[in-house]
Each structure stands twice: as structure tokens, then as C-alpha cells.
Structure 1
Amino acid sequence: NPIGTSVTRQQFSFFMEQLSEDVLVVCDEAYYEYANKETYPQTFKLVEEGRNVMILRTFSKLYGLAGFRIGYCVAKESLLEALWKVSPPFSVNKFAQIGAAAALDDGEHVKKALEMNELGKKFLYENLQKMSVDYIPSETNFVTVDVKADTQKICEEMQKRGVIVRPLTMYGQPTFFRVTVGTPEQNQKFIEVFQRIHNKHV
């Protein structure tokens, strides 16, 4: 995030080796479920070793519970105790807690969602390649696209045609946008609309 890539286990280990033990490292793992587990950093192991690491995960992405605003933190006990001291009361409602607990038990949904995401990314990759449009291979549920032009204008034109994508101008990437992997029908509509607009601007 914001472009859908991740560091490897080796890169993260090297990073951790450069830090003194009193430095707190916060790992934003909002897209953890989508990542390649063979190369992804083993952050839980660092917590088990007592390192100053906080792992943040959410139910907003793969589990589809964005409206509930619920996630969780994994860290050693002393860090969690410090976190509780500044945590507001009643920060998560009961319905969100019930939904999150049910989501953790729904392995079938997780499997299906991951399969659909991989198929959707493959479809987008293949069609973007046919258009000779550059993209960044993703370990999330979105794909970052480089249009080699003013992305803000292209995004606005796409929105007028019912397709919403996120320009990355605010991240200093004025020619990039990212598109969320959707249903097969949504992915098809994105390609059709983007192709018409892209041909006009490039």
C-alpha cells in the first residue's frame, strides 16, 4: 500500500537487524491475507520472541467488513497494556465483534474470495498487457496502473461512465491510478471503459 507491493522476508529481516531493541516497529498488514505466504515476513514470530513489534490487521479487506471498522493488534503484553491506556472506551460495537468472530470461522468465504481475486488480477493483467499499459504486479486486491498521462483527468472521465478508480496523485504519482479487483462483470466493464478513454488520451 498504496501500490500493492510488499517487502520480502529477507528484506524485512535485514531492516529489523539495523534497529536498536528499543525502537517500536508497527506493521500495517491490512492486506496480509492476499500476500504470498512463502516470501512474506514472519511477523508473528517476532512477537513471540518478545520484539518491539505491533502487527495491525483488519476485517475491512478480504472479509468485507469495512463498514464495521474493526481490526486487531498483535503484540507482546507490555505493548498491549500501554495501548489499552490510550484506547477509547466502546471503540468497537457488539455487532462488529460478532461479525468479526463469524468471519474468522468462515474458511469457505476466505478461500472463494482469494480465488476470485487471483482470477480477477489475471484478467486485468492480461487485458492491460494487450493494451500495452504498464501495471505493478500486486499482492493485494487492487492493481496499480501507469497511464503515462494525467491520471486525474482519466479518472474523472471514467467516473462519469460509472467506473471509480483511485488516482495516486496525492502520493506523488501523477500518472498512476489503482483499480480494485471486482466481480468478473465489474472487471470487464473497467477494461471496456478504460480502453476507450485510454485510446483517446494516449
Structure 2
Amino acid sequence: MNIIVGKNFQEFRVANANFIAVDIGASSGRLLLGKWNGSQFDLEELWRFPNESVSVNGHMHWDVLRLWHEIKQGLLHYRKTYDEPLAGISVDTWGVDFGLLDKAGNLMGNPYHYRDHRTNGLVEKGFGYLSKADTYAVTGIQFMQINTIYQLLSMVESKHPQLEQAHTLLMMPDLFHYWLSGEKCVEYTDASTSQMLVA
């Protein structure tokens, strides 16, 4: 597939460069290679893998270590196939879900799946902390029980032990960015799915 890009990107100073986009959805993931030749991108699928949830003690989780393994396998495949170094890599996943890191930067457990039942009925309960009108005025997004704010509320309500030790929250794509780069940050558009971002 060829993608013709707009004028702004054509000012990119590198004549030839390779980029990888990691695209992980609810049931599968893939690594896409974008080859920039100075005027257009040529896209090809480099690696594909399943994304299956796991159930532990009656709760649904993402198999985040398997996903990380597959990302690394895709990168190894790139290295074996192409001589050119990568100019960049980025990860895109679904919204709302997150990983908690301790003070040392270690993941504190497999992230919960947005379809887990732990947030059932918590939207209305959340209005006891901040009214519906005020929540919407601040965040401007749709009320859904899968939103990060209600996942965290479920942890508060159940006195989940991870909250005592948690130091950093990273949305799912940013967890992978952290493992790839060592840098902790949250990308703005994904943060908006948390219903905790001031819009």
C-alpha cells in the first residue's frame, strides 16, 4: 500500500527511513513497517499475533507479557530481514486500560481488561464523588463504566492493595512505550479515554 503524504511531512529531512507502527486491538496485534522514500510511504505488515484475555480468580486481564513478547519478536524479525536501522517506532492500542508501576518502575500485575465485571454499577456511584454535570464539564467525554476513572474507583472501593504501592499509571500504549524507551509519559488522546483529563 502506498500512502501519499501532505506537504508538511514532505519537509521531513531524511530521504529514506523506516518506521514501525505497532497496532494492537482487542483480539489481535500487528507490526506495520512504513518505508519512507522521500515523497511517500510504502506500508507492509511485518508481524501479526493474537491478543487473548486471561481469566484469573474470576477477573479478566490482558496477557501483557505475551503482547510484549510478540512486539519483541516482530522487532527481531525486522532486524533479521532489513539492514536499515529504524528511524522510529510507536504503539497504538485500545483506550481506558492501564498498568500500574511501583516506585522502581516495575509493573505491579497484569492490567485488567475493560470487560471485567469489577466496574459494574460504578458510574452512578462515582457521582457521589463528583456530580455528573461537573464530571462532564471537566472532561467532556461519554460516561462508560469501562473508563479508567471507574476502574480506579473499583480499586478504591475494594481497597485493592496495589493502590498503596502504585507510583505511576500508564495507559496501555504508553506502558509499551516505556518498555521500549525507558521514558514514562501519557499520550494526550489516549489519556482522554480515562475520563480524568481536563479537556
Asked if Structure 1 and Structure 2 have the same fold, meaning a TM-score greater than 0.5 normalized by the shorter chain, the answer is no
Output the TM-score relative to the length of structure 1. Answer: 0.27
Output the TM-score relative to the length of structure 2. Answer: 0.28
**Structure (1 or 2) with the greater helix fraction:** 1
